[in-house]
Structure 1
Amino acid sequence: MDRHGFLRRLHQVYRPRNYLEIGVNDGRSLALSRVPSVAIDPAFKVVKSISCDVHLVKATSDSFFARKDPLLHLRTGRNPFRALARRDPLAVLGGDPKLELSFIDGMHLFEFALRDFINVERHSRWSSVIVFDDMLPRNVDEAARDRHTGAWTGDVFKVAQVLRRLRPDLVVVEVDTSPTGVVVVFGADPDSKVLPERYDDIEKEYIKPDPQEVPDEVLLRKNAVQPEALLDAPFWPALIRARNLNRGRSAFTALRGRIEEVS
């Protein structure tokens, strides 16, 4: 299964009520969304038909998240949350809109991807799903910071290492999609300050000149699960129900083990 096949199924399985995408490119992944969406890319060239209510932003993700109210679109216009609020107060996320499904596929450099995660997590909940693309390079050349190959992941694979090391509260799942894998993150905590407070030190530690040292378990995908195994896992209905009922973070404790069984 390729990345777009995985995303298509993820939309169907998780049924997010909003979607954020960093790195639009030609619009193939954005075209999969059917819900209010925000899509960010400083140089997008959309050639696909888009079937969602989308705020398409020509900007870097850093500048976008620096705005006073970056997710305004998700609580205005044709946002279904308004109508939903009149019928079911429990289904309202309350206050600022919270991202439910986010796809990070921006600049393929470690520090950019890490900042994207920090910004996305700030606007997410524990029940949100955050997906990184291009996380499993097939060789050291693909993982170079200085691009010199056709397919290119850059060194964003290091973000998974940082999350596992410094954020054990998260569940980080590598998925064996073609061609260059994805990572799915569960359990986001918008109140966590670990990554922003340690960002400068993390950057100094992890940014290295080429060639990059890519662990064998990444190159050989030793820890990666098959996409079907994650998408067909039995925890999804419980996650969706907790999300829709706006359950507190304590609900993640009960659900975490069921998610980890897949990985």
Structure 2
Amino acid sequence: MKRHEFLRELHKATANRNYLEIGVNDGRSLALSRVPSVAIDPAFKVVTEIKCDVHLVKATSDDFFARENPLVHLRGGRHPVRNLRRGRSPIGYWRRTSLDLSFIDGMHLMEFALRDFINVEKHSDWSSVIVFDDMLPRSIDEAARDRHTDAWTGDVYKLVEILNRYRPELVTVLVDTQPTGQLVVFGADHTSTVLQDKYDEIMTEFKVPDPQKVPEAILERVKAVKPETLVGADFWGPLVRARNRGLSRSRGWEPLRSALEGLSASR
């Protein structure tokens, strides 16, 4: 299954109510969305018809997320909500927007991908689905930080090890899509500051000059699941119902984690 086909199936499986995309390029992935969307790229050149209500932002993702209330465009936004509980005055307060589906396909360097995840997670919840593109390079040349090949993943594959080490409470699933694989992350926690706090430490270890030492497990895709297996799993329905009912992390996350760990164990 090719990456855009897999992303199309994820839109269906997640029944997402909103969508965020970092790295628009020509608009082929954005064209799959049918829900309120935010799409960010400093140099997009959209040539595909877009069929969703989209805020298309020509900016770097770092600059975008530095804005006050960057996701105001999305349904629900971040807006005053009246508190009408008995015995309380109707005082306004702010309700945060939680992203249902996010696709990170920006600059192909690990530090950019890591910052993108940090920023996206601040607007995500346990039921959010976050997808990284280009996570399974096919060669060391393709994984170089300094691009010298037509097809290029850069060293964003390092996010697999970084997330597994620093955020073991997340569940990460590598997916064997063509041509260069994807990573799907479940269990986001918008209150976590671990990656931001450890950013300099992570850079010291993982930001190294070429040639990159790409793990054989990445090059051989030994831990990647078939895309058909992931999108056809049984947990999507319960996830969507729990999310739409607004279930808390304590009630919704553990059943999903168990199902995902069972999927991972079957690889």
Partner of 1:196: 196
Partner of 1:141: 141
Give me the whole-angstrom Cα distance separating, in 2, the residues matched to 1:27 and 1:75.
21
Where in structure 2 are the equivalents of 1:4-23 lying within 5 Å?
4-23=4-23
Query: How many residues get paired?
Result: 248
Give me the whole-angstrom Cα distance separating, in 2, the residues matched to 1:69 and 1:193.
19
Q: Secondary structure at the match of 1:10?
A: helix
Q: Secondary structure at the match of 2:127?
A: strand
- In the TM superposition, what is the alpha-carbon distance from 1:246 to its structure 2 partner? 1.1
Deviations 1:152-185 (A, max 9, x none): 0000000111000110110000000000000000
Identity %: 67
Give me the whole-angstrom Cα distance separating, in 2, the residues matched to 1:13 and 1:156.
25
- In the TM superposition, what is the alpha-carbon distance from 1:255 to its structure 2 partner? 1.9
Q: Secondary structure at the match of 1:16?
A: coil
Give me the whole-angstrom Cα distance separating, in 1, the residues matched to 2:75 and 2:136.
35
RMSD: 1.2
Where in structure 2 are the equivalents of 1:62-73 lying within 5 Å?
62-73=62-73
Unaligned runs of 5+ residues in structure 2 are 78-93
- In the TM superposition, what is the alpha-carbon distance from 1:150 to its structure 2 partner? 0.7
Q: Secondary structure at the match of 2:20?
A: strand
- In the TM superposition, what is the alpha-carbon distance from 1:97 to its structure 2 partner? 1.1
Give me the whole-angstrom Cα distance separating, in 1, the residues matched to 2:57 and 2:187.
27
Partner of 1:89: none
Give me the whole-angstrom Cα distance separating, in 2, the residues matched to 1:261 and 1:112.
31
Q: What letter corresponds to residue 114 of structure 2 in structure 1?
A: L
With the length of structure 2 as denominator, give the TM-score of the two structures.
0.91
Max radius of gyration: which structure?
Answer: 2
1:165 aligns with 2:165: yes
Partner of 1:253: 254
- In the TM superposition, what is the alpha-carbon distance from 1:207 to its structure 2 partner? 0.4
Deviations 1:55-106 (A, max 9, x none): 0000000000000110010147xx8xxxxxxxxxxxxxx8121111000000
Q: What letter corresponds to residue 255 of structure 2 in structure 1?
A: A
Give me the whole-angstrom Cα distance separating, in 1, the residues matched to 2:41 and 2:219.
28
Give me the whole-angstrom Cα distance separating, in 2, the residues matched to 1:262 and 1:165.
20
Consecutive aligned runs of 4 or more in structure 1 exceeding 3 Å deviation: none
Give me the whole-angstrom Cα distance separating, in 2, the residues matched to 1:255 and 1:71.
26
Give me the whole-angstrom Cα distance separating, in 1, the residues matched to 2:256 and 2:186.
10
Give me the whole-angstrom Cα distance separating, in 1, the residues matched to 2:61 and 2:150.
24
Give me the whole-angstrom Cα distance separating, in 1, the residues matched to 2:262 and 2:230.
10
Give me the whole-angstrom Cα distance separating, in 2, the residues matched to 1:5 and 1:260.
24
Give me the whole-angstrom Cα distance separating, in 2, the residues matched to 1:75 and 1:228.
30
Partner of 1:244: 244
Give me the whole-angstrom Cα distance separating, in 1, the residues matched to 2:110 and 2:150.
19
Q: What letter corresponds to residue 211 of structure 2 in structure 1?
A: P
Unaligned runs of 5+ residues in structure 1 are 80-93
Deviating more after overlay: 40-49 vs 248-257: 248-257
Q: What letter corresponds to residue 105 of structure 1 in structure 2?
A: D
Deviations 1:211-263 (A, max 9, x none): 00000000000000000000000000111011101111112012211012112
Give me the whole-angstrom Cα distance separating, in 1, the residues matched to 2:51 and 2:75.
18
Deviating more after overlay: 8-17 vs 40-49: 8-17
